[in-house]
Structure 1
Amino acid sequence: MPPKPTAIPKPTTEGEQFDIPRKNTLSYQPTHLGHNSPLPYIPTSSAKTHDPSGTLKLAFIMVGLPARGKTYVARKITRYLTWLGYPARIFNVGNYRRDTVGAAQPHDFFDPNNQENAQKRMQVAMTALDDMIRWFERSEDEDELSDQGSSIKEDEREDQDPEYDFEAKVAIYDATNSTKMRRRILMDWCAARNIKCVFIEMVCEDSEMVTHNVKEVKISSPDYVGVDPELAVNDFMLRIKHYEKSYETVTEDENNGKISYIKLINTGAQVIVNKVQGYLQSRVVYFLMNLNITPMDLYFCRHGESVYNTIGRIGGDSDLSWRGYMFSQKLPELMEKQIGAKKLTIWTSTLKRTIQTASNFKHPTVQWKILDELDSGLCEGLTYEEIEERYPEDYQERDNDKFNFRYRGGESYRDLVQRLEPVIMELERHHEPDHAILIIGHQAVIRAIYSYFLNYSHDELPYVKIPLHTVIKLTPKAYGCLEERFPVDVPAVDTHRNKGQSAASVTKAARDSAGDLTKLALE
């Protein structure tokens, strides 16, 4: 067993990227390597070959020339798995390299014929691999980063559906990994520690798309801070030429024909899958098959204010209040201004308040049962005050862990996330830039979808503020998501409940707000 590691540094992006070496020196040799050669020591059968805890250790290893979208896809996978509840981390070798030898390196630093620099890059890559293995080997109690990737705890898994009741940790090793030798090293290294490897190769045969990627993303990277954009583009294109000298595409005969890989060609125009087995691996394959980089605008809003909203009751299937109907009349005008000549499709739930909110649109409307509000079970139609009175223990337990709390006979936010996965797949596969989508949904539903795109943690998700009578526009970008909010000039009650807020104050606030708004309208 390797020595117990010291504290692991925090990721640069919470819950997403783990990329800073523990040592800022080229003389540092990872403790697992065992000698000073630029090539690693391959462990023998005496090394640990199983995980006593039963945790699935899965590594997705990126492959591809620069500017092919590796980091973009790595971030997408991490965000998707984290949203579903699996601890996931990116180990970005490029960031290790910047921290170790500096960001401002000329293109010939990446020339494979330069043995000195090749050894430096190999050491950096092995440092990242060493950190990845250390992260896998830390127990949940030891892993000070575990809560950032998943809020699942051991005693909560008994209530989960069967397909989600196994432990799993997923790492994404983000580098070019452009030769068969490098990939064999990674496979042998991981196999000795019972880490399953799946390679994801990004292939782009469209030179215009590569140039676009370089201009859009690479010249704004830390490697080219303060560099003239034209010079940065030329330098990066020369860097690509160096990698092309030694690049070897992934083939099915590697590792004696036992290599698992996914090959994405031209941003998913063609997908090749070889020997990929396992539940979680298959879900990632399906996710990648639906992925595209087409620019798109997504719009979300809650239904108009409902009768239940005005009296502080949750769930149910009530009609809109008179202010809710006013909102439904003004919403089409706002959307027409937003979309211009674009096509628009509206998605609603099957509950009356969303259908009524969409009733004044002339655009196509689709009703989705899976967009129905979180099921409150026995608490449907009750106020928070009534819930606290009838089920005091439940009320307190929900405050303690709102994401995992499941209503009696109903759902939890965790259940809701699993239910909404097909919606996320449909949004990710949407590839018509002149076709906008508006989801008219419910507070919990919009929170869950919004948190996926904005990468909110499970602790944050149930408390995201999604006010009534406000349209949210999200524009996904390569490494983030732009957000705009457009309030509609129709007042509504505030249904947001802060953590720890008393039940009586929530119900009173809703009723007082409804009364004040009614008086204001009559004056």
Structure 2
Amino acid sequence: MLKQFDEVHGGLTRKSSRESGLATPPRSVVGIGGKVAKPDYSEAKIVLAMVGLPARGKSYLSNKLMRYLKWLEYEVKVFNVGQLRRTRAKAKREQSGVQENHSAEYFSHDNKEANQLRDKLAEDCLEMLIQWLKEGGNVGIHDATNSTKERRAMISNRVAREKGIVVIFLESLCDDPAVIAANVALKVSSGDPDYMNMSREEAERDFLERIRKYEKIYETITEPNLTYMKVMNVGSQVTLCNIHGYLQSRIAFYLMNLHVKPRSIFFSRHGESVYNVEGKIGGDAHLSPRGQTYAKALPQLIHDNIGDANLTVWTSTLQRTIETAQNLPFTKLTWKALDELDAGVCDGMTYEEIEAAYPEDFANRDEDKFNYRYRGGESYRDVVVRLEPIIMELERQENILIIGHQAILRCLYAYFHNLPQDDLPYIKIPLHTVIKLTPKAYGCDEERYTLPIAAVDTHRPKPKAAKQPDVVVSTARQYLDPTIA
């Protein structure tokens, strides 16, 4: 087909209409795109065993890493030993009426019976994890203290019996009293069933006593035969040992870029463009008069929300984002990776023109928008891959304002809210609206500010869907049965 296209047009290699100014491509081209297959990650099998005292950020790191890898389409699941303990205790209470005591004394090394029960829970949780990996999972996170050499040897020896599965230990260390205090406060106020019938003061006393019980027997990782990473104060220092292979290195690099400093991330599409008004996709159009009005009003909106705080503005290389940012009094960086999804031969066309010229492919895109790739262009899946460096840099930075494009911001927004790929292409990111995300331990707070400047609605609803994707904004820790989480 491409050969016929070249022959018809004298062997000329087609430039993007962003460069050439071409509008509708020749209608003799039939079949403009296809679906992109999900990468084959079937050989990636990792047990990621957490290590660390309570209130040192283990669950935070687990949650962040799960969100990142799922965004990249790995199958990831957290198996939390504490949640398994609570689930079984609840079942026991309902069946026999016996209420187990999980106060600090339960976690004492001198409590032999409780020690045996906790070891059994850790082993059972590991067995569930391994079985899940065998059924198609890629990274199973064993979320527990795993605080002794004996426990880590048990995990290492058990995983060694499984062909094709490797174990990495991830130790979360923290010596910052303020961070530890904040983690303790979050634990006792987050709805943890262990403290359901206690006052906050009682819960805090008991949890601090639990930590002291663990401290008496805690052994930091020094075993030279293990593959491990040590993270100090959530990213201020990272130590790696025996890390090999692509996925292991990817995990390590991500963890090296994390921090927990207070910050906000602002998303805004460019102001309304001339192409938006004309109903065309792609291109490199200037702002419309209403888009220019938005660009002039944006600095005051940002100032009202961050005051004199420092901020860096990121834009794409396309002029509509650069024009939108031109009045902002902040450092500006231009990223090619933030350019809009490339529509290939459909660049500069309206959806009506695409449907008339390429009805079959138009239908295919509506059927599977995340995987559909324009001929000579991109799919949403391609965009996610090229945005990975942006995610890495976002995790390193403090306050950032990204002035971008609809598809780009959808992909980034899905990362921060852990949304599935099927919903990603239909997230509503309206024009002339600033979205403020404030990362928290277990999610992101969100606020939206819409300026009273009219703009066209470029959102295309999900075809044949009863409702649009639901975005449930929650920063609370979820206490779930690990077998169904």
TM (norm. structure 2) is 0.83
Instruction: Report the counterpart of residue 134 of structure 2 in structure 1.
Output: 137
Partner of 1:507: none
Distance apart, 1:362 and its partner CA: 2.0
- Please state if 1:227 is matched with 2:190: no
Which residue number corresponds to residue 206 of structure 1? 176
Distance in 1, Cα, partners of 2:177 & 2:267: 36
- Whether the 8 Å CA contact 1:67–1:218 is kept in 2: the answer is no
In the aligned structure 1, how far is the partner of 2:209 from the partner of 2:145? Answer: 15
Aligned residue number for residue 482 of structure 1: 445
Aligned match for 1:65, one of 38, 43, 53: 53
C-alpha distance in 1 between matches for 2:84 and 2:199: 24
Does residue 184 (structure 1) correspond to residue 153 (structure 2)? The answer is yes
List runs of 5+ in structure 2 lacking aligned partners: 1-40, 91-99, 466-485
Residue type of the alignment partner of 2:130: I
Shift of 1:501: 7.2
Query: 1: CA distance between counterparts of 2:311 and 2:177?
Result: 32
Correspondence for 1:75: 63
Residues in 2 aligned to 1:233 and 1:479: alpha-carbon distance in whole angstroms:
20
- Whether 2:433 is the aligned partner of 1:445: answer no
Q: Distance in 2 between matches of 1:209 and 1:310?
A: 49
Q: Do structure 1's residue 263 and structure 2's residue 230 form an aligned pair?
A: yes
Task: Give 1:196's match in structure 2, choosing from 166, 187, 205.
Answer: 166
Q: Within 2, Cα distance between the matches of 1:57 and 1:105?
A: 33
Within 2, Cα distance between the matches of 1:178 and 1:361?
A: 50
| Percent identity of paired positions between Structure 1 and Structure 2 | 52
The equivalent position to 2:456 in structure 1, one of 488, 493, 501, is 493
1:104: how far off?
A: 6.4
Give 2:187's aligned residue.
217
When residues 72 and 218 of structure 1 are mapped into structure 2, their CA distance, relative to the original with a 3 A threshold, is farther
- Amino acid corresponding to residue 318 of structure 2 in structure 1: L
Matches within 5 A, 1:376-387: 376-387=343-354
Offset, 1:409: 0.5
Tell me if structure 1 keeps the 8 A contact 2:44–2:247.
no
Distance 2:464 2:130 in 1: 43
Structure 1 residue 120 displacement after superposition? 1.5
In the alignment, structure 1 residue 329 sits paired with structure 2 residue 292: no
- Does residue 121 of structure 2 align to residue 124 of structure 1? yes
Give the secondary structure class of the aligned counterpart of 1:217.
helix
Shift of 1:218: 3.9
Partner deviation per Cα, 1:30-83 (whole Å, 9 max, x = no partner) = xxxxxxxxxxxxxxxxxxxxxxx9622111110011000000000111000000
Q: Say which SS state the counterpart of residue 465 (structure 1) adopts.
A: coil
Moved over 6 A (4+): none
Q: What amino acid sits opposite 2:443 in the alignment?
A: G
Match runs of 1:499-514 below 5 Å: 499-500=462-463
Shift of 1:226: 4.0
Q: Structure 1: how far apart are the matches of 2:304 and 2:42?
A: 54
- 2:171 partner SS: strand
In the TM superposition, what are the counterparts of 1:115-514 in structure 2 within 5 Å? 115-139=112-136, 169-194=138-163, 195-220=165-190, 221-253=192-224, 257=225, 259-430=226-397, 432=398, 436-500=399-463
Deviations 1:216-269 (A, max 9, x none): 33442232224222221111010011111221111133xxx2x10000122222
Q: Distance in 2 between matches of 1:201 and 1:331?
A: 43
2:313 maps to a residue whose letter is I
Q: What letter corresponds to residue 307 of structure 1 in structure 2?
A: V
State how far apart, in whole Å, the 2-side matches of 1:265 and 1:131 are. 29
1:104–1:223 contact (8 Å) kept in structure 2:
no
Matched, 1:101 2:64: no
| CA distance in 2: counterparts of 1:244 and 1:62, whole angstroms | 16
**Further displaced range: 307-316 or 243-252:** 243-252
8 Å CA contact retained: 2:188, 2:200: no
Shift of 1:413: 0.6
In the aligned structure 2, how far is the partner of 1:217 from the partner of 1:337?
33
Residue 464 of structure 1, CA deviation: 0.4
Consecutive unaligned residues of structure 1, counting only runs of 5 or more, are 1-52, 140-167, 503-523
Asked if 2 retains the 8 angstrom alpha-carbon contact of 1:63 and 1:176, the reply is yes
- Give the aligned CA root-mean-square deviation in angstroms: 1.6
Please say which of residues 181-190 and 70-79 is displaced more in the overlay. 181-190
Amino acid at match of 1:187: S
Deviates more, 1:240-249 or 1:278-287: 240-249
TM-score (norm 1): 0.77
- Superposition map of 1:11-22 within 5 A: none
For 1:223 and 1:309, the matched residues in 2 are separated by 54
Q: Residue 25 of structure 1 aligns with which residue?
A: none
How many pairs are equivalent? 414
Instruction: Tell me if the contact between 1:252 and 1:274 (Cα under 8 Å) persists in the aligned partners.
Output: no
SS in 1 for 2:415: helix
